[in-house]
Amino acid sequence: MEEIPPAPPPPHTPAFQPVVPVVENDNEPGYWNWTRIGFAVLLIVILWAGTQSDGRIPPGVRQKEARVMAVAIRDSVEQFLADYGRLPVPEKAGNREEDTDSDTSSIEGLATILIGTESDTTPRQNLQGVDYLEGIKPAKLSEKAGMPHAWSNGLIIDDKGINWYSIVDSWGNIFRVRLDTDGGGFVENPDLNGVADGLTKVKQRVIVWSPGEDGKEETWTDNPKSWD
């Protein structure tokens, strides 16, 4: 008699599988994907900005800063005029029968008059000692090689002993200033491009500009200016 084979083992009982409830996500499908993309874009922007801050400010920013400063210088002269009823008289001012070309170098004395710290040994023009340049920040030492001046973008104290001040633009250039000292209510337009377009005069008592990034006054495309 044949041997009876043992009974087969019972079928495998699957282990207990807990039922995980499905939690509905309140957010739109793909929300987390878009968030991650957003963070990635933000990170790229931050990294890019980091490369830009290494002494290399984008040219457009420098241009904008120089224009803002040209406008601030113009406004300070106009405020001086409003307060005293006369324009400041820099060193190059002539006989007042014609307009005056000046600048913001220390030797011209214009910045010193506007900041209200004239020497007691010369007749003071800013009698009340008002600081009309308080909106202009101190210049920064440039770390970029090849700059025309070590200082850029603000106010410089050239000689603390006699408080002679100058103002330089984003590239270290001195600002040019044209004053309506003949009282006609306008000045000749120095912008050759504007003159070519027929704009020979600027109806303002004072205008301010700088030679721009290339340091050349005659190339007007890059010259920041206080008018237009």
Contact positions vs Ca ion (CB under 5 A): 99, 180, 182, 184, 211-212, 214, 216, 219, 222-223
Q: How far is the CB of 133 from Ca ion (least distance, A)?
A: 24
In three-state secondary structure terms, 177 is strand
Tokens found for residue 94: 């002539």
Q: How far is the CB of 219 from Ca ion (least distance, A)?
A: 4
Measured from the CB atom, is 124 or 149 closer to Ca ion? Answer: 149
CA distances from 92 to 4, 36, 81, 194 (A): 128, 62, 18, 25
- Cβ–Cβ under 8 Å, residues 73 and 167: yes
Measured from the CB atom, is 130 or 195 closer to Ca ion? Answer: 195
Q: How far is the CB of 113 from Ca ion (least distance, A)?
A: 20
Q: How far is the CB of 47 from Ca ion (least distance, A)?
A: 33
Measured from the CB atom, is 38 or 183 closer to Ca ion? Answer: 183
Measured from the CB atom, is 81 or 157 closer to Ca ion? Answer: 81
- Positions of E strands within 52-168: 100-103, 140-141, 151-152, 154-159, 164-168
Rounded to whole angstroms, the Cα distance separating 73 from 88 reads 12
